[in-house]
Amino acid sequence: GAVVSQHPSWVICKSGTSVKIECRSLDFQATTMFWYRQFPKQSLMLMATSNEGSKATYEQGVEKDKFLINHASLTLSTLTVTSAHPEDSSFYICSARVSRQGPRHGYTFGSGTRLTVV
Amino acid sequence: QKEVEQNSGPLSVPEGAIASLNCTYSDRGSQSFFWYRQYSGKSPELIMSIYSNGDKEDGRFTAQLNKASQYVSLLIRDSQPSDSATYLCAVSRANFGNEKLTFGTGTRLTIIP
């Protein structure tokens, strides 16, 4: 089946530093990647939609200068949390839709990255 | 009103019984409906997708959709302890393409041995 590989699976960083999270589609081309954030005991909140070769579309309330998204190829999208602060500590998950399986299939999720800012 | 609403639970069901999970949505333009299972600390995994009114069965799982009532449900038959997880309902406005998913807050299901 379609696999989205996400790295790192967990990261601890100091306040003020930047962290990059990568998502790769391993056996399909993902023209669009979705980035979610999930706080403890809450649901997934869409942060932005990443489109290959163009600027990402951010959801209302998400700072585009803080959460930098790059989708330079059909198999790789990255999310960089810049100047991270403790309130950015969360579970970040990427997702893509596998269009080659036909339009009526669900979205495949990466394994997630647990970010802890200390 | 939330776009996608679920009872947060926890929902406790004896092993072997039927677990019934419900979801309502507010956007009448919604076309695609999904149920995801999420274990603690893990990312969601797709259980079922449904696009047309009625029932769709896959093994022990049955998804039900009623667009007129803006209601979608998931039934789990012969519940197993491994079914204990949070179940997320998600909807999309598109049948195809790369339209975003909107998630409910999830229902925490516990199967009691």
Interchain proximity A104–B46, CB inside 8 Å: no
Q: Which two tokens stand for residue A65?
A: 């200068």
| Interface probe, candidates B5, B51, B98, chain A, greatest A C-beta count within 10 A | B98
pLDDT, mean of residues B49-64: 94
For residue B35, is pLDDT > 90? yes
Query: A54-104, pLDDT tens digit by residue?
Result: 889 999 999 999 999 999 888 999 999 999 999 999 999 999 876 555 445
Residue of A nearest to B32 (CA): A104
Distance from chain centroid for Cα A116:
16
Q: In whole numbers, what is the pLDDT of chain A averaged over residues?
A: 90
Q: Which residues contact A23 (CB under 8 A, 6 or more apart)?
A: A4, A5, A6, A33, A76, A77, A78, A79, A94, A96, A110
| Interface probe, candidates A28, A51, A107, A115, chain B, greatest B C-beta count within 10 A | A107
For residue B19, is pLDDT > 60? yes
Query: B65-102, pLDDT tens digit by residue?
Result: 999 999 999 999 999 999 999 999 999 887 665 678 89
Give the lowest-confidence range in A35-39, A93-97, A104-108, B32-36.
Answer: A104-108
Q: In whole numbers, what is the pLDDT of chain B averaged over residues?
A: 92
CB B5 within 8 A of CB B104: yes
A-to-B residue pairs, Cβ atoms closer than 8 angstroms: 54
User: In which band, very low, low, confident or very high, does the pLDDT at A53 lie, cut at 50, 70 and 90?
Assistant: confident
Residue B42 has its nearest CB partner, among A42, A103, A112, at A112
Set of chain A residues whose Cβ sits within 8 Å of the Cβ of B98: 31-32, 49, 97, 99
Residue with tokens 């939330």: B2
Could you tell me where the beta strands, DSSP code E, fall in A8-112?
A: 10-13, 19-25, 32-38, 45-51, 57-58, 67-73, 76-81, 90-97, 107-109
Set of chain B residues whose Cβ sits within 8 Å of the Cβ of A105: 49
Query: B102-112, pLDDT tens digit by residue?
Result: 999 999 999 99
pLDDT at B61: 97
For residue A41, is pLDDT > 50? yes
